Amino acid sequence: PGLTEEPYRTSDKNSFAYVSARDRWPVILTQAVDDVYKHRVDSEDSNHGPEGGKIIAKIAQLKFELQHNRLITPLEDDGGDDIRGYNEELDKLGNPKWFDAPWLFAECYLYRRLNTFFTNSETWKTHDVFHVRKAAAFRSSRAAVIELASKYRQIISSLENSGDPADTTDGAREEREKKLFTDMCEICLWGNATDLSLLTSLTYADIQQLQEHNAREEARKYILVNHADKVYDLLKKQRDEGKVGRIDIVLDNSGFELFVDFILGGYLLAAGFATEIIFHPKSLPWFVSDVLPGDFMSLINALRDPASYFDSPRDGRSADKVQETPLSDSQESDLKYLFSEWSELHTEGKFLLRPNRFWTTAASYWRLPSVAPQLFQDLKQSELVIFKGDLNYRKLTADAAWNPTTSFSKAIGELGRLGSGVRVLALRTCKADVVVGLDDEVDAELRSGDSEERKRKWAWTGKWAVIQFWDGKL
Ligand code: F6P
Ligand code: MG
């Protein structure tokens, strides 16, 4: 059946679409200008300067068009196969203005358009305009990274030594394992709360607070739907039957979120729930903080020499934020342990990166089978596909104005069919209007706490979350 609900639009003043287009996108574009400006000044390449100037002018033009509600213009060809798709879609939409377009399309277009300014240059082709901010944010996650490194090391060692007390019953062991599994899913979930595109003014203290252990315990009450148990039962059954296979993670943000994706991936392997983990990054700078293949390697490399990475001030961090005690020997050793574990998994082919241009089209995942049939076939080979984050959730649900009590399977279209072949697990902190699979009244109750009940503001901030599962192999 076709999509019955309308997508959120930038014209809808009650939606976060409108607020995003009006307030957030201009800031993101201004930050992109700053980045190009700084790189231009620092660069030794003589062509970099003049080309950088042209790029800045193009970004400024884009910002002007957005803020003056001009028509969204066709993308300039840069040789990418996806350009035609964007322009055909634009045509189908009747060439809308910035403030009267489907939110999902307009936002994806914004990042793709920004990217063409670089790809159509000679000397800036592969420049990641968000790189500096991504790296700085990961350094700010130092405290949580240290805490989780130690926890991860303990978990992996106890799994390797199958450290159950001899007198433990099967039931108790299973309960304990289920609790650990759920905990790992939740760590991975909350890693999504700290993305850069939304939290443009996040302070160092805010980031730390979101990531602490106690904060996670406290945060459990903000998970509106939690299917982690179901997923555990399934994976355990598969393991008991000797049917363990690959698990995929469709990545969202780099830095701390990617770090917790590695934690989850490493745990799934060590616990015998997966034989390999396939990570799906983006192919161009995307929604500010999303993972590019280079970010994947940067993270592993940061752990190679953690003292110099975490202890020395770089990337514009002001000196007052670095007044932390240097890493202790055991902290350094835990981080280096992660480096050796994860680089080995990568070398052995158990941590694999698999980019695909589909992830940076504007298509929702309702269209995955028709737009990217090979990718769809590939995902069917996986035992479980984990979709991280808000944008993936919006794409799963076609970013449409579903009634929040609509079932998750209905809202995800083809992927939610019986026998679709893909098992979908969404780990998402809510940063947009769309949300489904809620019990009656939950949305109404959350709205009623707000003075502007017509808006679903509770769902915009990353404070609430869902862990939702659909078994497409049934
Ligand atoms: O809602 C704010 C927003 O920036 C959306 O534009 C986008 O869907 C999302 O947040 C990005 O968040 P995430 O990194 O979790 O996909
Ligand atoms: Mg993101």
C-alpha span between 166 and 189 (Å, rounded):
33
Give the side-chain half-sphere CA count within 13 A for 155.
Answer: 24
Report ipTM (2 d.p.).
0.97
* pLDDT reported for residue 210: 55
Nearest atom in ligand 1 to 287's CA: 11
Structural contact between residues 138 and 302, judged by C-beta atoms closer than 8 angstroms: yes
Q: How far is the CA of 430 from the centre of ligand 1 (A)?
A: 8
CB 197 within 8 A of CB 289: yes
H or E segment and range at residue 236: helix 228-240
CA of 349 to the centre of ligand 2 (A): 25
Pairing of strands 245-250, 274-280: parallel
Probe ligand 1: pick from 12, 190, 195, max atoms within 8 Å of CB? 195
pLDDT in tens, 339-366: 999 999 999 999 999 999 999 999 999 9
The pLDDT value recorded for residue 453 is: 83
List, in order, residues 6 or more apart from 188 with CB less than 8 Å away: 260, 261, 263, 264, 386, 388, 427
Extended beta strands in 123-234, E state: 223-226
User: What is the position in ligand 1's atom list of the atom closest to the CA of 197?
Assistant: 4
Crossing angle of helices 293-304 and 131-140, rounded to 10°: 40
Q: CB of 459 within 8 A of CB of 435?
A: yes
Asked if residues 404 and 443 have their Cβ atoms less than 8 Å apart, the reply is yes
Amino acid at 455: K
pLDDT value at position 278?
Answer: 98
Ligand 1 lining (C-beta closer than 6 Å): 16, 20, 107, 192, 195, 197-198, 252-253, 287, 389-391, 394, 431-432
Tokens of 380: 């069917």
Strands (DSSP E) contained in 51-125 are none
How far is it, in rounded angstroms, from Cα 272 to Cα 266? 10
Pairing of strands 465-471, 423-429: antiparallel
Phi, then psi, of 415 in degrees rounded to 5: -65, -25
Nearest listed ligand to the Cα of residue 288: 2
Please tell me the distance from the alpha carbon of residue 410 to that of residue 402, in angstroms, as a whole number. 10
Amino acid at 69: N
* Per-residue pLDDT at 198: 43
- pLDDT, residue 206, reads 54
The 10s digit of each residue's pLDDT in 426-437 is 999 999 999 999
Q: How far is the CA of 452 from the centre of ligand 1 (A)?
A: 22
- Tell me the CA–centroid distance for residue 287 and ligand 1, in Å: 7
Residues of the chain with pLDDT under 50: 197-202, 315-320, 322
197 Cα–ligand 1 center, Å: 6
Task: Please name which of 283, 264, 197 lies closest in space to residue 425, comparing C-alpha atoms.
Answer: 264
Identify the pLDDT of residue 197.
Answer: 46
- Report how far residue 245's alpha carbon sits from residue 277's, in angstroms, rounded to the nearest whole number: 9
Rg, Å, the chain Cα set: 22
Q: What is the structure's pLDDT at 421? A: 98
Ligand nearest to the CA of 25: 1
Q: Is the dihedral of CA 120, 124, 127, 129 positive or negative?
A: negative
- How far CA 399 is from CA of 3, 15, 105, 143, 470, in Å, comes to 11, 12, 10, 35, 18
